[in-house]
């Protein structure tokens, strides 16, 4: 859907691009403005890197290499977008990686010096991006505007990891400009997406969260009520933002029926089949098994930083015994959903979530731990 904007957020390393992108996305979410924040470089970051403790985020962060396969996959995602995109670009793009820029439509640039800003202005112009804003990034100072037309100019300060960009002239003006750009092309988008759902029971998770919890964020204690509210053993189509442990819980609840997840980059997708067995040496999905007193923690990682939906079943290790299983890893939600379905027979199943500094029990056949239990990172089970 190329008429939807894809807005590049660019600038040199350590200029605060990821924090700005996260802050803008959070503000747009509070106003229910449809969009998706795409991290266009494998630097190991996501919402979790801003929402979890600094020590845990640092331990989980794993930089990738941004090779040709990554570039091809990101370009495909942008070309086939189903929502407007905020595209968080890497700070040192190679000529090959600049192919990602040519897929975008607009630019927001952020840099600490006039020289750095001029360099990025040249890059954006080379790919014919329509400029929205050019800001200087300061450690200390005010968020203020120096010019509003045709491009926003000014300063943004305090873009430190783990924080939200403070409101001020520049941030408020940028948000207003984004809303003006995005709103007209997304007025009926949610309705159109839900109308194409491949299951009769199609759930808008953001609206359901407000209905069941009165808020905008799913917490572990909400899980029992959510699973009671939705049917089991029934095809489910899940739309809108929700944490990985929620998606995994619903994917398991739907068994043996089909489960579908709306992906802003691919549309409606279903979890791929997984097979128990020993993965080959060159398997795209890697697994580490960590024994715990009453469970085993399976930590999954992707060899090439980006995993396409497989056409053949991926192999995952079989786990026997009466202990629980904790699923962990920086992997796509469709893969976490597939894992929850593959390991559905475990006495209890939990999914690790960095923002919670622990795991959430998403299914159980035992009295302990109970459904929705929050198992703290490193804590006893």
**Euclidean distance between CA atoms 72 and 88, whole angstroms:** 16
**Euclidean distance between CA atoms 45 and 38, whole angstroms:** 11
pLDDT, one tens digit per residue, over 61-90 is: 445 556 778 888 899 999 999 999 999 987
The domain locations on the chain are 6-185, 190-376
Q: Which residue in this structure is represented by tokens 């980059």?
A: 265
Annotate 61-81 with b (16+ C-beta within 10 A) or e (fewer). Answer: eeeeebeeebbebbbebbeeb
Instruction: Tell me the torsion sign for CA atoms 210, 213, 215, 219.
Output: negative
Positions of the chain with pLDDT lower than 70, given as ranges: 1-2, 42-66, 161-166, 305, 377-381
Q: Which residue in this structure is represented by tokens 């990682």?
A: 301
> Which secondary-structure segment (H or E) carries 227?
helix 223-229
**Euclidean distance between CA atoms 145 and 372, whole angstroms:** 46
Asked if 257 and 269 count as a contact pair (C-beta separation under 8 A), the reply is no
Cis bond upstream, residue 125 (ω within 30) = no
Asked if 218 and 242 count as a contact pair (C-beta separation under 8 A), the reply is yes
The string of DSSP codes covering 230-256 is: S-SSS-EEEES---HHHHHHHHHHHTT
Q: Name the fold adopted by 6-185.
A: Rossmann fold (3.40.50)
Q: Left, alpha or beta for 58 (phi > 0: left; psi -120 to 50: alpha)? A: alpha
Identify the CA nearest to 78 among candidates 52, 55, 98, 101.
101
Q: Would you state the structure tokens that stand for residue 128, as one six-digit string? A: 């014919």
**pLDDT for the residue numbered 61:** 44
Instruction: Please state whether beta strands 295-302 and 285-292 pair in parallel, antiparallel, or not at all (unpaired).
Output: antiparallel
**pLDDT for the residue numbered 55:** 47
Half-sphere exposure at residue 39, Cβ-oriented, CA atoms within 13 angstroms: 18
pLDDT, one tens digit per residue, over 111-162 is: 999 999 999 999 999 999 999 999 998 877 778 899 999 999 999 987 876 6
**Euclidean distance between CA atoms 176 and 65, whole angstroms:** 35
Asked if 204 and 239 count as a contact pair (C-beta separation under 8 A), the reply is yes
**pLDDT for the residue numbered 363:** 96
| β-strand partners of 334 | none
**Euclidean distance between CA atoms 274 and 316, whole angstroms:** 7
């Amino acid at each position: 859907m190329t008429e939807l904007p894809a807005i590049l957020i660019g600038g040199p390393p350590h200029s605060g691009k990821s924090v700005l992108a996260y802050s803008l996305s959070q503000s747009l979410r509070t106003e229910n403005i449809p969009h998706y924040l795409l991290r266009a470089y494998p630097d190991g970051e996501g919402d979790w890197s801003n929402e979890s403790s600094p020590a845990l985020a640092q331990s989980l962060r794993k930089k990738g290499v941004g090779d040709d396969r990554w570039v091809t996959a990101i370009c495909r995602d942008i070309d086939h977008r189903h929502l407007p995109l905020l595209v968080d670009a890497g700070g040192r793009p190679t000529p090959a990686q600049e192919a990602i820029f040519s897929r975008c439509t607009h630019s927001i640039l952020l840099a600490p010096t006039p020289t750095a800003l001029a360099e990025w202005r040249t890059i954006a112009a080379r790919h014919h991006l329509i400029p929205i804003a050019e800001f200087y990034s300061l450690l200390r100072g005010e968020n203020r505007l120096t010019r509003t037309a045709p491009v926003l100019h000014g300063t943004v300060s305090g873009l430190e990891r783990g924080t939200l960009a403070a409101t001020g002239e520049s941030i408020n003006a940028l948000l207003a400009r984004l809303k003006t750009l995005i709103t007209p092309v997304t007025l009926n988008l949610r309705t159109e997406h839900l109308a194409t759902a491949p299951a009769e029971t199609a759930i808008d998770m953001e609206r359901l969260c407000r209905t069941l919890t009165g808020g905008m964020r799913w917490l572990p204690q909400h899980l029992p009520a959510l699973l009671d509210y939705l049917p089991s053993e029934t095809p489910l189509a899940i739309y809108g933002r929700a944490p990985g442990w929620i998606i995994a819980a619903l994917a398991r609840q739907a068994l043996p029926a089909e489960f579908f997840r709306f992906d802003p980059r691919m549309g409606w997708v279903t979890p791929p089949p997984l097979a128990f067995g020993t993965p080959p040496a060159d398997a795209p999905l890697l697994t580490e098994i960590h024994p715990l007193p009453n469970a085993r923690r399976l930590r999954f990682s992707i060899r090439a930083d980006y995993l396409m939906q497989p056409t053949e079943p991926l192999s995952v290790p079989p786990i026997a015994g009466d202990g629980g299983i904790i699923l962990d890893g920086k992997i796509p939600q469709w893969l976490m959903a597939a894992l929850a379905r593959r390991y559905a027979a475990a006495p209890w199943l939990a999914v690790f979530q960095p923002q919670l500094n622990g795991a959430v029990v998403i299914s159980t056949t035992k009295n302990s731990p109970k459904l929705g239990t929050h198992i703290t990172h490193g804590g006893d089970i």
